[in-house]
Chain A
Amino acid sequence: MGKFQSIELGAGESEFGRKFYPKCLETDSDLSLLNTNCIDVITDAHKICVDDGSFDRVILCNPFPYGFVREEGLVLLREIVRILKSKGQVILIASSRNPTCQPQRIKQIANALELGTDVKIQIQVTAINLQTQYPEQKFYRFDGIETKPNTEIILQIQKS
């Protein structure tokens, strides 16, 4: 995995990571995407089949129904922290109405993860304009219908 700097989880067919972050490994758990050119590796976001400390950046685009909710969210964030290098970031492109991508929930999960560990997480939330920031990029739901996220949540993660 050495040649990749970033990894996109649940990438589907949008190839967002590949277009905006060079050297991005595209992954998804959907086996039907195996023979498409969109996906490099099939893997579950809660049990990512890569070594610890492999990436600078983890990208997620509007995950649903999985995401940052209670225990399942903690498992997801713990796994993301595991595969990030000592200083890494998570880029979460989300709809502000997606229940699995709510900053309040992410903060709570981040606090739970920080407890008793040497991990520090900072969260930054900004509104995005798709047309100017990600022109010509389309985001899709699981059934292939277009969705329009409006928020970018960045988690700066530091492990000592």
Chain B
Amino acid sequence: MSDHTLQLADSIAKLHYEHDFYAHLSMLASAEFAFNPDLSKAGLESSFSGFKFDQRKYISLQQAAFEEGPKIESDENPDVDWEKIDKKVYAFQNRLYGTINGDLNDTRLKKFTDFSVKCYENCITYESMYPQSTSNPWQPVVKILECGRLLYVSDSLNELKDFTNNSISSSVSKKNRGNIGIVVKGQAPTIRGFVIDDRYDIQKIVYSFLRREAPSHESPVSLSKIQAYLKTLGYTWSIGNIQIKITTPLKKTGFVGSTSKGFFVIQTLNDLISSYRFHRTKVDSINTIIEQYHIRSREFGDIDLQKEFGGLTINRID
């Protein structure tokens, strides 16, 4: 995170933080595929039926991300300078306090500032422990902060309702109650947020299904088969939703692969090569398109497209 002064944003519309918060949770949850032995056993769908992404799970996944990092990261720094981390956290905290017009001892505001500082601390701690990481789980939430939004997470619906003047309660379906929710605050006193859906529960169900039905690249299952299977369990999800919320996050764990024929669990080198080849071809094709855009940008003057797009992705290429 850069050292410039923070500035709280005017807008707290959901689109500004929803994707990043889910990305944060997906990174935490996906790591569990690497170290939870229960997930490697086939046919465990029934045992996942009661899965809740509550505060306990959230805290535990954070702990696991630090402790089990070597299983998912390519390197580890054995000489972390904890004093330096603490100094950086104090500096960030001071910068954050400097941006707030309000009573810093106010209990509600304190929850936001404490949680936001903790997110920053976890981010730089992870960065120091695993310097080569490209999947720091706190990077997306620090992005929410960098964009001027303070955040706080809780699994108490009453607390979330209280923060948002009940605006959150109408959007929470019964099956998602007990899951954590995020609330954010910008410049204005208004607070908005949402409770997360049951995508992590379903990701585990689908992963288990793939372990049983698609244990290699030679036996892939299609999206429509996954959709039909979920329907038998009472989940009526569209293909698009399954892709965005289930299969793409699963692929990002590195434990699930895909080709044009469907999805499968990566267990051998051949599985890995097969999925790599498919995705490499897609990346090469996209790079060709990007190159063409750079060439066409000359028509519009001397502009840097990379700078112009500002990091905001609308259609994510997954």
Contact = CB atoms under 8 A, between A and B. Distances in A.
A23 interface: no
Interface in A104-141: 104-105, 108, 141
B57 A99 contact: no
Contacts, number: 55
A105 B62 CA distance: 19
A97 interface: yes
Nearest to B38: A145
Give 8 closest A-B pairs by Cβ, nearest first.
A143-B60, A141-B60, A64-B63, A104-B82, A142-B60, A95-B67, A97-B67, A143-B56
Given A97-B69, A98-B66, A98-B67, A65 B82 contact: no
Given A97-B129, A141-B60, A105 B66 contact: no
Interface residues on A, range: 10 to 19
Contacts of A47: none
Nearest to B76: A97
B83 A147 contact: no
A139 to B, nearest CB: 11
6 contacts: A64-B62, A65-B59, A65-B62, A65-B118, A102-B82, A104-B83
Interface majority SS on B: helix, strand, loop or mixed? helix
A145 B89 CA distance: 30
A131 B121 CA distance: 33
Contact of A141 (B63, B82, B89): B63
Contacts of B125: 99
A158 B80 CA distance: 29
A80 to B, nearest CB: 20
A152 B125 CA distance: 21
Interface in A40-81: 62, 64-65, 69-70
Contacts of B82: 99, 102, 104-105, 108
Interface majority SS on A: helix, strand, loop or mixed? loop
A70 B86 contact: yes
B57 A143 contact: yes
A74 B89 CA distance: 16
B240 to A, nearest CB: 31
A147 B67 contact: yes
Contacts of A95: 66-67
Contacts of B230: none
Nearest to B36: A145
Contacts of A97: 66-67, 69-70, 129
Given A70-B86, A70-B89, A104-B82, A145 B69 contact: no
Contacts of A70: 86, 89-90
B23 interface: no
B172 interface: no
Contacts of B61: 143
Interface in B2-60: 36, 56-57, 59-60
Nearest to B54: A143
B72 interface: no
Contacts of A147: 63-64, 67
A15 B70 CA distance: 28
Most buried by A among B36, B66, B69: B66
Contacts of B89: 70
A64 B86 contact: no
A72 B56 CA distance: 20
Contact of B83 (A98, A108, A145): A108
Most buried by A among B66, B70, B82: B82
A104 B79 CA distance: 11
Contacts of B59: 64-65, 142-143
A98 B56 CA distance: 17
